[in-house]
Structure 1
Amino acid sequence: MANDSVLTAEQGSTGGISLGLLATGRLSDHFQIRFNPTLFLGGSRYFSYTLGSTQPNEAKEQKQTLPTTIVSMPVHFKFNSDRIDNFRTYLLFGVKFDTDLSSNSALRNVPDIIKLRKNDFGLEGGLGFNFFLPFVTISPEIKFSYGLTNLLIPDPNLKYASVFQQLQSRMIVFSIHFED
């Protein structure tokens, strides 16, 4: 079989930067609905492999890097605590739809590289704080994102792809929102 030569395979990712907009609709004193379209830049997914048997001029350790540029469209429900002076905490949960703009790039059309689906659907949850200053509200938050879609496009002919049964996205996102 093509995958007999792969001893170990590990998935990883690198950090990046994101830019986004925030639209909030008030449902009640404590509940809001929020739409936060975001563009994630500069990150990449990578796969590290250790090969048991190699071809001539092939390294025993292999690494494949897939650049990513993701547009995320999350919709969250936000629960705000009571405001204490100039401070408030909040919880958020919701769904997201992601699309990878670099999924058809020339680098991804290399013959032996893993093929991933362009679109993903997932769940998000997080925690944040509002700091009310005289001219701006600063809101740091941390979100945990869990993709529900199997991103792997199975291809038994690809030596590196056949070692995985499924791949799902997971992200931890720290962001700071500035509101006036």
Structure 2
Amino acid sequence: MKKLISVVIILLISSNSFAQLFTKEKIPNLENMDKKILSWGYFLGFNSYDFQFNYEQDLDDILVDTTVGFQVGLTGDLRLNDHLNLRLEPGVFFTTRNLQYNESAFGGIDFRASDLIREVKSTYIHVPLLLKFSANRINNFRPFIVGGLSTAINLSSNENNPDDNSSGEFRTTNSNYFYEIGFGIDLYLTYFKFTPSIRGVFGLNDELVRDEDPNSPWTGNVRSMKTRGIFINFTFR
């Protein structure tokens, strides 16, 4: 997460530098690009996923160690008017989260050191439908905000696996739903448009598949487990 925050800071500083560069009148690049009804591109980026837990009882929290993952995908953009665009951004997202349990969760039950940690690997086919609102273009610079809804299929969920945490299998749901909000900057370069952006993603559904034992130390006290995360994308069009 610290590495991702550092990238965000660099992105913001760079954005400010670009703003200063473009406050003086420049020769406009790609003047007619934003007049296209449909346009296509691709994106690369980084992500940091987390889990938000709600509990049945006030016991020790499950700690989440996040890592920096990556994503790649395509963008489709439909122009609605001079300031509004509808965007579809299907992509493949890779991430890993490590859950750390407190010994108190086992309530005197014998356990091994490996029982205190669960690695949750996720490979999402992520499909957001977003509404993009852009400010007026200033030379070769145009900021925007974006928000919308998304769905994702988790190819690593193990939802239908008959084994549960008693056999070392932490299971999550296959289909998930989110809302997203973020901002970015369109930079009009000589031959293409480059768009750095940052977006928050927030889960709407409970993703935890519970163990067969209702008193399971891994899932018994969890009322809900929802994804939240940060995306940093670099889009090329």
What TM bracket, shorter-length normalisation? 0.7 to 0.9
Give the TM-score taking structure 1 as reference length.
0.86
Q: Map 1:67-106 onto structure 2 (within 5 A).
A: 67-104=121-158
TM-score, normalised to structure 2, is: 0.66
Larger deviation, residues 155-164 vs 16-25:
155-164
- Which has more strand, going by share of residues? 1
How many angstroms apart in 1 are the aligned matches of 2:185 and 2:125? 25
Q: Within 1, Cα distance between the matches of 2:200 and 2:78?
A: 22
Q: For 2:162 and 2:100, how far apart are their aligned partners in 1?
A: 16
After TM superposition, what 4+ stretches of structure 1 lie above 6 angstroms from structure 2? 105-108
**CA 105–14 in structure 1, closer or farther in 2 if over 3 Å, else same:** farther
Q: Residues 108 and 51 (structure 1 numbering): CA distance in 2 closer, same or farther, change over 3 Å?
A: farther
1:1-21 per-position Cα deviation (integer Å, ceiling 9, x unaligned): xxx9x8542234322110110
The match for 2:203 is: 147
> Superposition pairs for residues 33-44 of structure 1, below 5 Å?
33-41=86-94, 43-44=95-96
Superposed, 1:11-160 pairs within 5 Å as 11-41=64-94, 43-52=95-104, 58-59=112-113, 62-104=116-158, 109-112=163-166, 113-155=169-211, 156-160=214-218
Identity percentage of aligned residues = 25
Higher mean alpha-carbon deviation, 32-41 vs 10-19, is at 10-19
Amino acid at match of 2:91: T
Shifted more, 15-24 versus 148-157: the winner is 148-157
Question: One-letter code of the match for 2:74?
Answer: L
Structure showing greater relative contact order (alpha-carbon pairs closer than 8 Å, 6 or more residues apart): 2
If each structure's helix is expressed as a fraction of its own residues, which one has the higher value?
Answer: 2
Q: How many pairs align?
A: 175
Q: For structure 1, list consecutive stretches of 5 or more residues without a partner in the other structure.
A: none
AA at the equivalent of 1:48: Q
Amino acid at match of 1:143: R
Give the structure 1 partner of residue 227 of structure 2.
Answer: 169
Report Cα offsets for 1:11-36 as digits up to 9, x if no partner.
Answer: 34322110110000000001000000
* Cα contact 1:114–1:161 (8 A) shared by 2: no
User: Amino acid of the residue matched to residue 29 of structure 1?
Assistant: D
Q: Distance in 1 between matches of 2:120 and 2:114?
A: 20
Code of the aligned partner of 1:171: G
Distance 1:8 1:30 in 2: 44
Distance 1:104 1:134 in 2: 47
Secondary structure, counterpart of 1:114 in structure 2: coil
Instruction: Please list the CA deviations of residues 42-85 of structure 1 after superposition, one character each: whole Å capped at 9, or x if unmatched.
Output: x1122101203666672398211021101111000000111101
Letter in 2 for 1:80: S
- Across the aligned residues of Structure 1 and Structure 2, the Cα RMSD in angstroms comes to 2.6
Residue identity matched to 2:177: F
TM-aligned CA distance change 1:89 to 1:110, over 3 Å = same
CA contact (8 A) 2:159 2:172 kept: no
